[in-house]
Amino acid sequence: MTPRTPLGQRYLEDLQLRNYSPKTQQVYFECVSHFARYFKKSPELLGPEDIRTYQLYLVHQKKASWSRFNQTVCALRFLYGKTLGKDWAITHIPFPRTEKKLPVVLSAAEVVQFFAAIHSFKYRTLLMTTYATGLRLSEVLHLRVTDIDSRRTVIRVHLGKGHKDREVMLSPKLLELLRAYWKVYRPQSWLFPSQGGPGPLSASAVQHVCLEARRDSGLGKKVSSHSLRHSFATHLLEAGVDLRTIQLLLGHTSLSTTARYLHVSKASLAATASPFDALPLPSHS
């Protein structure tokens, strides 16, 4: 299936009509295209058993990650449920049970240690902005100079995940850092522009810097840009900020998504008494 075929064109149009992001459109189309190429047939000629066969192929032969597996399931559910209108699509394309791992969270000292290992002022400012605001990497990369509202001390986030605008805090220390950064680089449109083109820096370039900083810092944790977002949320929770406020800052649709930080907050763990403490114990003698 290609964008030039009638089915491919209609699939993309259906995704666009439902306001899926360009990145999601690309990923979904790739997943469906790989599915069609595997059978060398149009998806219109394939059914539930073919989907099951392909899912087993992804697990046992392709060794696809669960993330990629779930993307494929979502893409096929949309294709058969929305574009092709098959009533069996939802019930016959199952999701796997996924692993639920706690997010990687750095202590305040580890955050400082990580930043000290980033040699580029530009990338260090970008990642410090990530921690200071709790923004997703894609949101930081798409910040424009005009999104920094120093008078109201907020940063505007345009069409974050879920296509929702929101505002996050602009701390005095971050504002001071961004002013120093602006004096050095003088960005005109994008706050963190690419060196070789008109757009912003790429996510892969930032993750490469994170990998180098993790190595140079000596931290044993698997630190990524998203670890800084997790650390932001956890540190706010430990400072006594309520979960609803953190939810709004992170741009989570569901409070249950934000609630997972309760599992990694030292403050919430320390404030919870063990039932062992209420037991009358025998003497040690």
Output the DSSP codes for 114-167. HHHT---HHHHHHHHHHHHH---HHHHHT-BGGGEETTTTEEEE-S-TTS--EE
Q: Judge whether 1 and 7 are in contact, CB under 8 Å.
A: yes
Average pLDDT, integer, range 109-119? 93
* Weakest-pLDDT range from 90-99, 167-176, 213-222: 90-99
Q: Judge whether 201 and 193 are in contact, CB under 8 Å.
A: yes
**From the candidates 10, 122, 161, 260, which is the catalytic residue?**
161
Most confident of 2-6, 58-62, 277-281: 58-62
pLDDT of residue 246: 83
Q: Does 229 participate in catalysis according to the annotation?
A: yes
Q: Does 252 participate in catalysis according to the annotation?
A: yes
175 burial (CB, 10 Å; 0-12 / 13-18 / 19+) is: middle
Q: Does 62 participate in catalysis according to the annotation?
A: no
**From the candidates 136, 142, 230, 235, which is the catalytic residue?**
136
Q: Per-residue pLDDT for 23 more than 90?
A: no
25 burial (CB, 10 Å; 0-12 / 13-18 / 19+) is: middle
pLDDT of residue 21: 81
pLDDT of residue 276: 46
**From the candidates 10, 156, 226, 260, which is the catalytic residue?**
226
Backbone angles phi, psi at 3, to 5 degrees: -60, -15
Q: Per-residue pLDDT for 99 more than 60?
A: no
Q: Per-residue pLDDT for 123 more than 90?
A: yes
Q: One-letter amino acid identity for 33?
A: S
Q: Per-residue pLDDT for 130 more than 90?
A: yes
Rounded distance between C-alpha atoms, residue 274 and residue 276, angstroms: 5
- Residues of the chain with pLDDT > 90: what percent? 49
Confidence of residue 278 (pLDDT cuts 50, 70, 90): low
Report field, pTM of the whole predicted structure over 0.75: no
pLDDT of residue 184: 95
Rounded distance between C-alpha atoms, residue 90 and residue 76, angstroms: 9
Per-chain mean pLDDT for the chain: 85
**From the candidates 124, 229, 230, 235, which is the catalytic residue?**
229
List domains and CATH numbers for the chain.
Answer: 6-92 (1.10.150.130), 108-270 (1.10.443.10)
pLDDT of residue 96: 63
Which sign, positive or negative, has the C-alpha torsion 25, 28, 29, 30? positive
